[in-house]
Structure 1
Amino acid sequence: MKNQLVTLCLAIFILTSCSNSSDENYEDIADYPFIEAEFGSSIDLENLANYANQTIPPYIIKDNSLGNSITDKGATLGRVLFYDKNLSSNNTISCSSCHIQANAFSDTNIASTGVNGTTGRHSMRLINTRFATETRFFWDERALNLETQTTMPIKDHGEMGFSGENGDLAFSDLITKLSSIGYYKELFKFVYGSEEITEVKIQSALAQFIRSIQSFDSKYDAGRILAANDGQPFTNFTPQENQGKNLFLSPPVFDANGIRTSGGLGCAGCHRAPEFDIDPNTLNNGIIGKISGTGIDITNTRAPSLRDLVKLDGTPNGPMMHTGVITTLQTAIGHYGTINLAPGNTNLDPRLTPGGVGQQLNLTATEVNAVIAFLRTLSGSDVYTNPKWSNPFN
């Protein structure tokens, strides 16, 4: 009930804010000289980039926006906040430092660099975050929603340094800092009708920008739009890609010893087509290590969409899993091929333990290569280069 009330209050605030952000609430565009001076042609207030009305395929139906609908104005502000190093205590780190456009908004480093050290988990890709049933964020789902998540790294001592602890400045000091910057006075007035900066406004704008980052120009999408459902062969796929798709979608059949005797790999049981989002009820996948330190971490139960795991040429967009321990699609598939029941892992997803034992998929090289071929069809190209998701300070 408490979580529902928080979400409701956030939605009410956002709706109220949106009602105050119409064209009637600001004067002439010429009244925003700091925006022009800082961003030049990368932000044109009279011709904003299209964030609110992007084309979404009809088969994509999941949406976790929770009342914070994307607006061109809000996402424009969110873009500036996302790339601005002023959001870190020493002006060296921005959200984009760990979520890099060229890497599907992830990081090629296992642990990303913060103002006081490195991140405790690998930086998750930010592709199609909107198109999911799951509303919680971070690998361990500790953020109630994306809005809440957006300012948690800013408040983290190691990441962006406005924690209010360990000698850090507080988040209120960041508000004071941003309030003294000319282009933020103008942007918040442009979006909300007032120069006042609040955490909720920051969260709303950042979440709108992040949810606007979408990828639907893949080979998979070109085939799916022509098919009645995912189970049909896609006419634009090779036989290998269609085989991989069937293996991905079809559940396995196991014997009493947890050995697959027929069927597919069952990947779609957790990574659900066509969004390829993570099932909210998923528990951990058997990888329970830590990036640094000793012991195990059984709390990692979330995952990003499987879209854009790799670039079109097959180059990985960075290591996979919360530990960054897996660096190739072949290794990722191999991990699920033989699941080991690690001592102390009380949170392993039961779908990986048929009959109470770790699954053995008995994969052939042909099957592995087919699934890899299919996973590569989930990558597009626009998301890596589209200017509306790029650094406005450049």
Structure 2
Amino acid sequence: MRKALFLSLCTSVLFLSCNDKDDSYAEIPSENYPNVEAVFESTIDLNNLSNYANQTIPPYITKDNATLNPITDKGATLGRVLFYDKNLSSNNSISCASCHQQANAFSDTNIASVGVNGSTGRHSMRLINTRFSVESKFFWNERAASLEVQTTMPIKDHGEMGFSGANGDLTFNDLILKLSAIEYYKELFRFVYGTEEITEVKIQSALAQFIRSIQSFDSKYDAGRSQVANDNQAFPNFTAQENQGKNLFLTPPVFDATGSRTGGGIGCAGCHAAPEFDINPNSGNNGIIGVLNGTGIDITNTRAPSLRDLVKTDGTANGPMMHTGVITTLQAAVGHYGAITIAPGNTNLDPKLTPGGNGQRLNLNATEVNAVIAFLRTLSGTNVYTDNKWSDPF
């Protein structure tokens, strides 16, 4: 049997993955995949796949939630095609990339992203370093138990991609039939899984591999962290302002009985620990409880993306922040945490924001605000916006 048709099954309740990491792509005759070659001739070479599986990860990064579905070059290549393919929507107008754009750190500059039958109920979360998070659940309200489960939920949403099986929509099985009739998918699924059969589990596995491959470790922060033993040391490549901001970010605040800060830092790391800057799974909401559609409050949003690449290196925001998109600048983000209001009905506010039962008052001066902003900007890289392996292959 050809190496290209080797089927490696890595099974769990959530996924099926091809995990043949010793692929010899030189053994793959292009004539076996003529439709892939014709459609993606300038973007995908099955004989010379992009490196998704063995990217450099800094030694100080220890979290990895990809162990049950390891990234492979083959699987992530299929995931890339699926991620950008508008055929995954009911009217061929929307892809995953429509709401998660590479140019904006895989988020959207719109507050609500446009779907086939309306718009999303929350702002589209950035997809940076999802692999390196201790939080295993996805969506702002953590309704998906894993990234694998999350990947097909927008496809099955009436408003987003339209294969809901309700409200007059086709079903997900109809999508599978649709993709099964597309020649390049017949070849790609055979290339990855050894068979042309398409299943939801295979789609989930490939999409999750591609999304987890999207990593950003070429920031000023990473250049500095690689030169020291731990985050608490001054980074030699940082300005005095950036090091001050780092210290404020990492150091817990000292509060008086009224919740007013009297010393220490501002404690961002209590929810967004370095060096991954992901969200603590035990976090409550951050006091932003608005809704995009309708009225009332929503106190269930307790997840957040990594703080990496909140903005581009020039300070330009990668779209609005928070699930409502209500925050549009780093200054506004810092300002929000500077004065927390305990809103009526918000029974899920993170207790770290309510010292002594009162909404925290950080009492930041302009120098401190500017220092924290300067530090947050050091978390942004450049490669994630331009690397071809994460770009549109069509």
The two structures have a TM-score, normalised by structure 2, of: 0.95
Question: Take 2:89 and 2:204, find their aligned partners in 1: how far apart are those partners?
Answer: 15
The aligned amino acid for 2:304 is A
Contact 1:82 1:94 in 2 (8 A): yes
**Matching of residue 38 in structure 1 with residue 39 in structure 2:** yes
Contact 2:129/2:215 (8 A) holds in 1: yes
Q: Does the 8 Å contact 2:20/2:72 carry over to 1?
A: no
Secondary structure of 2:307's partner? coil
| Percent identity between the two aligned chains | 77
Amino acid of the structure 1 residue aligned with 2:184: Y
* Map of 2:312 onto structure 1: 311
Residue 285 of structure 1 is matched in structure 2 by 286
Q: CA deviation at 1:332?
A: 0.4
Aligned to 2:207: 206
**Structure holding more helix per residue:** 1
* SS of alignment partner, residue 202 of structure 1: helix
| TM alignment of 1:229-268, pairs within 5 A | 229-268=230-269
1:369 aligns with 2:373: no
> 1:21, 1:191 within 8 Å by CA — same for their partners in 2?
no
Give the Cα–Cα distance (whole angstroms) in 2 for the partners of residues 66 and 119 of structure 1: 31
Per-residue Cα deviation, 1:277-297 (whole angstroms, up to 9, x for no partner) = 100000100000011210000
Paired with 2:22 and 2:247, the residues of 1 have a C-alpha distance of: 47
Distance 2:380 2:327 in 1: 18
* 2:92 is the alignment partner of 1:91: yes
Matching of residue 156 in structure 1 with residue 157 in structure 2: yes
Query: Deviation of residue 250 (structure 1)?
Result: 0.2
Partner residue of 1:331? 332
CA distance in 1, matches of 2:343, 2:247: 30
- The aligned amino acid for 1:156 is D
Paired with 1:123 and 1:66, the residues of 2 have a C-alpha distance of 26
User: What do the CA deviations read for 1:173-211 (whole angstroms, capped 9, x no partner)?
Assistant: 000000000000000000000000000000000000000
Letter in 1 for 2:14: L
1:249-286 deviations in Å (ceiling 9; x for gaps): 00000000000000000000000100001000001000
Match of 1:3 in 2: none
* Residues 14 and 149 in structure 2, CA contact (< 8 A), matched pair in contact too: no
Unaligned runs of 5+ in 1: 1-6
**CA distance in structure 1 between the partners assigned to 2:338 and 2:28 by the alignment:** 61
Partner letter of residue 46 of structure 2?
L
Q: Which residue of 2 aligns with 1:77?
A: 78
Shift of 1:20: 12
Displacement of 1:329: 0.3
Q: Matches of 2:38 and 2:182 in 1, distance apart?
A: 12
Matching residue of 2:14? 10
- d(CA) in 1 for partners of 2:19, 2:216: 26
Distance 2:87 2:298 in 1: 32
Task: Give the Cα–Cα distance (whole angstroms) in 2 for the partners of residues 213 and 364 of structure 1.
Answer: 36
Q: Distance in 1 between matches of 2:239 and 2:28?
A: 56
Give the 3-state SS of the residue equivalent to 2:40 in structure 1.
helix
Instruction: Tell me the distance in 1 between the aligned counterparts of 2:137 and 2:292.
Output: 22
**What is the CA distance between 1:23 and its match in structure 2?**
6.2
CA distance in 1, matches of 2:349, 2:22: 46
**Is the 8 Å Cα contact of residues 20 and 192 (structure 1) preserved in structure 2?**
no
Could you tell me whether the CA contact under 8 Å between 1:285 and 1:348 is conserved in 2? yes
- Which residue number in structure 1 is paired with residue 302 of structure 2? 301
Deviations 1:80-110 (A, max 9, x none): 0000000000000000000000000000000
Moved over 3 A (4+): 17-24
Q: Aligned-pair distance for 1:29?
A: 2.7
Q: Is the 8 A contact 2:220 2:380 kept in 1?
A: yes
Q: Residue 21 of structure 1 contacts residue 192 of structure 1 at CA under 8 Å; is this kept in 2?
A: no
Offset of residue 65 of structure 1: 1.4
Give the unaligned 5+ runs of structure 2. Answer: 1-10
Q: Aligned AA for 2:388?
A: P
SS at match of 2:235: coil
Report SS of the residue matched to 1:187: helix
Residue in structure 1 matched with residue 226 of structure 2 by the alignment = 225
Asked if the contact 2:28/2:46 (under 8 Å) is kept, the reply is no
Looking at structure 2, the residues matched to 340 and 127 of structure 1 have their Cα atoms a distance apart, in angstroms, of 30
Contact 2:180 2:197 in 1 (8 A): yes
* Cα distance in 2, alignment partners of residues 8 and 391 from structure 1: 30
Query: Which letter maps to 1:9?
Result: V
